[in-house]
């Protein structure tokens, strides 16, 4: 009999809010977390706007001791706060140093780029100046690819698999898929799943250099992230973290956990950079196979999908994505589900994207609403036929039951999850 997996706790540090209540409020209001960064202008970036959580530095002393904070770059700070929030939200206390490890609980917490800020600001200058011995003991744990998961593993005393996945923009969603399978196959009872990314210019620079990020709204930051719009001008880079606690259903029931949603199924695949795909553009067949694969794994029919939370980054690929969904679901403009993009408010948070957006999905299901996809008053002409399916204001939707969420990353990698509202039978 298949083990079912539900979400019993969540934590989020997003550009527009910290904490579930704030985040839900921000989503309902269509509140943007995008702002102008003077440093990007000094550094002559084309895109001088971005999404970065505010006020986290001030919060850290409430959460962590001084020694822990000395080895936390912003990436690790965001995910650590999110993980502790999620843990408490699930009804658990932080373990003491004397407790034994929790062998049943693990973590898959990924990044797209990782400790680039520490590398750029400390490692490279100090090594090059011959000052290696002055770097101190905390560099490795901040730059290693698994720095985020390793820190959280220690904070929460986790004793199951503790690792950081990485699949570019698909990272956060893939983490949830992998955690789902670990629980389904009986290898863990509970998994923290999510992702994070730091806000450093050195992380965003490569995207600026590719000219794929938004350069036309430096004077109007909140209007800059425009998924599905005719005036989309590239994605707006973002930073932050989110952690979802996935738990085996019976274990959740036994301890009387509050359940936000069930994860019915999910799939990851790659388009092979063939069939029209490349390092940076998806193979449409790969995308459609991923969506259909997720539906099959979830055991639901395409017409049961009430809403789609897209990848939808505000690049030229948005219209193709909407049509890929249409083909994968076999639903034309008249019968298409509602579709929104959380990135319209928080930007593209790279390794954190799938996780922050996954929390948005779970909140929308739990509370019965769809957040607006902002900044698309001017829907792109290629998808004008879908206009009525794009909420531009918050939509109360008590009958909302199933949301499909996907992420598509550089490397032509895809991931898709099917979330269902939790209703105790």
Partner 1 sequence: MDEQQIFQEMVGILKPYVKDPALLEGVTKDTHILDDLKVNSARLVDVIIKCEDAFDIEIDDDDADQIRTIGNAVDVIKTKLQ
Report the interface residues with partner 1, using CB under 8 A: 65-67, 70, 97, 134, 136-138
CA 109 to chain CA centroid, Å, is 10
Minimal distance in Å, beta carbon 135 to partner 1?
Answer: 9
In angstroms, give the least distance from the CB of 72 to partner 1. Answer: 13
Strand 240-248 versus strand 369-370 pairing type: unpaired
Q: Which of 18, 47, 111, 169 is catalytic?
A: 169
Instruction: Give the residue with the Cβ less far from partner 1, 68 or 285.
Output: 68
- Least separation in angstroms between residue 77's CB and partner 1 is 16
Whether residue 47 lies in the annotated active site: no
Residue 147 φ/ψ, nearest 5 degrees: -55, -40
Closest distance between partner 1 and the C-beta of residue 137, in Å? Answer: 5
Question: 126 or 394: whose CB is closer to partner 1?
Answer: 126
Degrees (nearest 5) of the Cα angle 279, 45, 74?
80
Q: How far is the CB of 402 from partner 1 (least distance, A)?
A: 47
Angle at 194 between CA 328 and CA 97, to 5 degrees: 160
Please state the length of the chain. Answer: 425
Minimum distance between the CB of residue 96 and partner 1, rounded to whole angstroms?
Answer: 11
Residue closer to partner 1 (CB basis): 136 or 275: 136
Catalytic residue among 18, 111, 270, 348: 348
Q: Which is nearer to partner 1, 29 or 68 (CB)?
A: 68
Known active-site residue 371: no
Of the candidates 18, 311, 338, 371, the residue annotated as catalytic is 311
Residue 8 φ then ψ, to 5°: -115, -5
Q: What is the largest CA-CA distance in the chain?
A: 65
For the question of residue 202 being annotated catalytic, the response is no
Q: Which is nearer to partner 1, 131 or 253 (CB)?
A: 131
Name the residue nearer to partner 1 (CB basis): 43 or 138: 138
Catalytic residues: 169, 311, 348
């Amino acid at each position: 009999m298949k083990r079912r997996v539900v979400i019993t706790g969540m934590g989020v540090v997003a550009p527009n809010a910290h904490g579930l209540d704030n985040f839900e409020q921000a989503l309902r209001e269509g509140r943007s977390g995008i702002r102008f960064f003077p440093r990007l202008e000094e550094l002559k970036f084309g895109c001088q706007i971005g999404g970065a959580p505010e006020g986290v530095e001030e919060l850290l002393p409430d959460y962590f001791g001084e020694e822990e904070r000395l080895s936390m770059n912003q990436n690790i700070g965001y995910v650590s706060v999110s993980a502790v929030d999620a843990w408490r939200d699930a009804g658990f206390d932080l373990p003491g140093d004397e407790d034994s490890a929790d062998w049943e609980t693990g973590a898959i917490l990924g990044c797209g780029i990782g400790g680039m800020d520490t590398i750029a600001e400390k490692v490279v200058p100090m090594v090059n100046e011959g000052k290696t011995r002055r770097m101190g003991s905390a560099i490795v744990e901040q730059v290693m690819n698994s720095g985020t998961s390793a820190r959280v593993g220690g904070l929460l005393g986790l004793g199951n698999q503790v690792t950081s996945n990485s699949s570019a923009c698909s990272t956060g969603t893939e983490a949830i898929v992998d955690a789902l399978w670990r629980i389904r196959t009986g290898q863990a009872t509970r998994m923290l799943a999510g992702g994070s990314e730091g806000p450093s210019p050195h992380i965003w620079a490569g995207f600026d250099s590719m000219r794929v990020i938004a350069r036309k709204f430096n004077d109007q930051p909140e209007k800059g992230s425009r998924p599905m719009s005719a005036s989309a001008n590239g994605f707006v880079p973002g930073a932050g973290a989110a952690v979802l606690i996935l738990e085996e259903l019976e274990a959740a029931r036994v301890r009387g956990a509050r359940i936000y949603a069930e994860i019915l199924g999910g799939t990851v695949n790659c388009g092979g950079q063939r069939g029209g795909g490349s390092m940076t553009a998806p193979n449409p067949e790969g995308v459609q196979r991923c969506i259909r694969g997720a539906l099959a794994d979830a055991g639901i029919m395409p017409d049961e999908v009430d809403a789609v939370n897209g990848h939808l980054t505000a690049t030229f690929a948005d219209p193709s994505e909407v049509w890929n969904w249409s083909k994968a679901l076999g639903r034309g403009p008249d019968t298409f589900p509602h579709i929104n993009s959380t990135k319209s408010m928080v930007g593209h948070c790279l390794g954190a994207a799938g996780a922050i957006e996954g929390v948005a999905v779970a909140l929308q299901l739990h509370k019965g609403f769809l957040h607006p996809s902002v900044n698309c008053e001017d829907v792109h002409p290629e998808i004008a036929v879908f206009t009525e399916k794009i909420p531009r204001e918050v939509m109360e939707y008590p009958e909302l039951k199933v949301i499909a969420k996907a992420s598509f990353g550089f490397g032509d990698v895809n991931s898709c999850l099917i979330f269902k509202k939790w209703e105790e039978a």
